[in-house]
Amino acid sequence: MIDARTSGQLLRYALIGVAANVLMYLAYLGLTTLSVGHKLAMTLTYVAGTLLTFLANRSWSFAHRGPSRVALARYLVAYLIGYGLNWAILWVGVDRFRWPHQIVQAGAIGAVAVGLFLIHKFWVFNSAREADVA
């Protein structure tokens, strides 16, 4: 069962994530329409989305009060992991199975988001772990 604090974090994370992902997915579609390759378009939108969501997730989703440098470093590591997963999903789905990149990327967004929430909650913005770093 999920406690009230985690439920609130998940709801706020989802709201930020939905808004950011809709915006970044539209940018992805726009870039690919302009003949930018699907993996380069994903890379560009991934970097922009990562930077846009850090402050919102730190301050609103998780109400993190620990050192921002530590959180940012962990956030970037988490997003590198997510990027690798997203890239691999595109490589397998589009380059190997020849599925439409629009559908593959939409599914990848959901899969990566779930993993990132867990990493953010238990590692990136986990105030109980701050003593490990300080």
Residue 99, SS3?
coil
Give the per-residue pLDDT at 21. Answer: 85
- What tens digit of pLDDT does each residue of 90-131 get? 999 999 999 999 999 999 988 998 899 999 999 999 876 555
Domain count, the chain: 1
Query: Cα 119 from chain centroid?
Result: 10
Angle (CA) 41 106 125, round 5°: 85
Contact present, 61 and 82 (Cβ < 8 Å): no
Mean pLDDT value across residues 75-99: 96
**Residue whose token pair is 């302009």:** 34
How far apart are the C-alpha atoms of 95 and 24, rounded to whole Å? 21
* pTM exceeding the 0.85 threshold for the entire prediction: no
Percent of the chain with pLDDT over 90: 80
Whether the predicted pLDDT of 132 surpasses 70: no
The pLDDT score that the predictor gives to residue 59 is: 93
Give the model's pLDDT for residue 129: 57
pLDDT digits (tens, 9 = 90+) for 44-72: 998 999 888 998 999 999 999 999 999 99
119/103 Cα distance (integer angstroms): 25
Q: Which domain holds residue 9?
A: 4-133
Type of residue found at 104: V
The per-residue pLDDT for range 22-33, each reduced to its tens digit, is 999 999 999 999
Q: Do residues 93 and 45 make contact, with C-beta atoms less than 8 angstroms apart? A: no
* pLDDT bucket at 134, cuts 50 / 70 / 90: very low
- Which single residue is written with the structure tokens 């105030």? 127
Query: Count of CB atoms within 10 A of residue 111's CB?
Result: 13
At 121 the pLDDT is 94
